[in-house]
Amino acid sequence: MKKYKKYLQWFLWAFLILLVVRVLFYQTAGVKDFHNSSTLLPGDQVIVNKFRAGLRLPISIIGLPGVNAPYIDGIRLPYLRLPALKKIRRQEVVVFNYPVGSDKPIDRKKLMISRVIGLPTDTVMIKDKIVSVNNKPIAPPALARSEYRVVTSGKPIDQEFIRKNHIEEPRLVADIGIYDIDLPKELVGTLEKSEGIKNVRETRQYLGDASVDYYPLSNFFMWNRDQFGPFRVPAKGMNVSIDLKTIDFYRDIIETHEKHDVLVDFSGVHIDDKIVSSYTFEKDYYFVLSDNRDYPDDSRKFGFVPADHIIGVANRLIGKHGRILRKIR
């Protein structure tokens, strides 16, 4: 009996240590989609360094750790973060809670993985697919994928080609054999030579094209994946002009993340029942981009990521597709 009691004690101590490490220092996050397929593939696991960017203490404390774990939303602690070992740097891959919506506690929102492109106060612009920060072009990931329009003889694209190269299933455009597919450039020639392929060309969006699904939802900002900005990334203490046009760009930040009431009428913009012509931000924000730039689920879709939503830096990868533990670049 004493032997089993000893084993039980060891198990409890091991569980406690793992729980402390999971809550306070490191955790893993799974990759479920192809949005970062230039770097991360579905099935991969990233190791998240929490204290590297400053440990965020739990906000919802009644429940098990993890966004999908059961919890009781009865008590929410105020946001508190310990000092970071290093500031988040441009081009680092971060794990964060989805910034849309405010009904759940921050630490119970779903996990997202993306690459930081714009730091607080940075000026960002995407023009003809080229990303610039502070007027300097930012190189895409080494294995960047672009979207290509493929015309076939009427048959689907070869499944062996898709499986072998870990490519997402092509998106059907027309059932006469027209598809959109995300490819690295080195595979374009291979696909062009495949049986049944008539034409392969890179797709492009121009100003005003397909802007309905992109941030912000406003007729004043006709942006899309290839044409976005220019704009400055909001930062704590930064003051911006507010009018009937610019409020569409900042409304989500002011209402959702900084908890102020916004009303727009014939007389102008009202914040907390006061008519305003400027606004000073209360938090730092980041602009993130998917590594698969032409198939985004990033700040071009959901807006800026508040600093309090960031969990940590994803600096190690446990690869599934024949790739072993390695540093993420």
Give the residue with greater pLDDT, 70 vs 314: 314
Q: pLDDT confidence of 319, banded at 50, 70, 90?
A: low
257 part of a folded domain: yes
Does residue 198 share a domain with residue 151? yes
18 part of a folded domain: no
Q: What is the per-residue pLDDT for 174?
A: 93
Whole-model pTM?
0.89
Give the residue with greater pLDDT, 126 vs 47: 126
99 part of a folded domain: yes
* One-letter-per-residue 3-state SS of the chain: CHHHHHHHHHHHHHHHHHHHHHHHCEEEEECCCCCCCCCCCCCCEEEEECCCCCCECCCECCECCCCCCCECCCCECCCCECCCCCCCCCCCEEEEECCCCCCCCHHHCCEEEEEEEECCCCEEEEECCEEEECCEEECCCCCCEEEEEEEECCCCCCHHHHHHCCCCCCEEEECCCEEEEEEEHHHHHHHHCCCCEEEEEECCCCCCCCHHHCCCCCCCCCCCCCEEEEEECCCCCCEEECCCCCHHHHHHHHHHHCCCCEEEECCEEEECCEEECEEECCCCEEEEECCCCCCCCCHHHHCCEEHHHEEEEEEEEECCCCCCCEECC
**What is the CATH number for 159?**
3.30.70.260
191 part of a folded domain: yes
Does residue 46 share a domain with residue 95? yes
pLDDT tens per residue across span 53-81: 888 888 888 877 777 777 888 888 898 88
Does residue 113 share a domain with residue 33? yes
192 part of a folded domain: yes
Does residue 94 share a domain with residue 40? yes
175-208: b (≥16 Cβ within 10 Å) or e: eebbbebbbbeebbeebeeeeebeebeeeebeee
Does residue 116 share a domain with residue 32? yes
Does residue 319 share a domain with residue 255? no
User: Which of 82-86, 94-98, 178-182, 258-262 shows the lowest per-residue confidence on average (mean pLDDT)?
Assistant: 82-86
Does residue 52 share a domain with residue 94? yes
Does residue 114 share a domain with residue 62? yes
Does residue 118 share a domain with residue 31? yes
115 part of a folded domain: yes
Does residue 85 share a domain with residue 68? yes
Residue 13 pLDDT > 90: no
221 part of a folded domain: no
Domain count, the chain: 3
Show the domain range for 193: 145-202
**What is the CATH number for 46?**
2.10.109.10
pLDDT tens per residue across span 78-127: 988 888 888 999 999 999 999 998 788 998 899 999 999 999 999 999 99
Give the residue with greater pLDDT, 4 vs 60: 60
Does residue 102 share a domain with residue 155? no
130 part of a folded domain: no
Q: What is the per-residue pLDDT for 75?
A: 85
Does residue 273 share a domain with residue 300? no
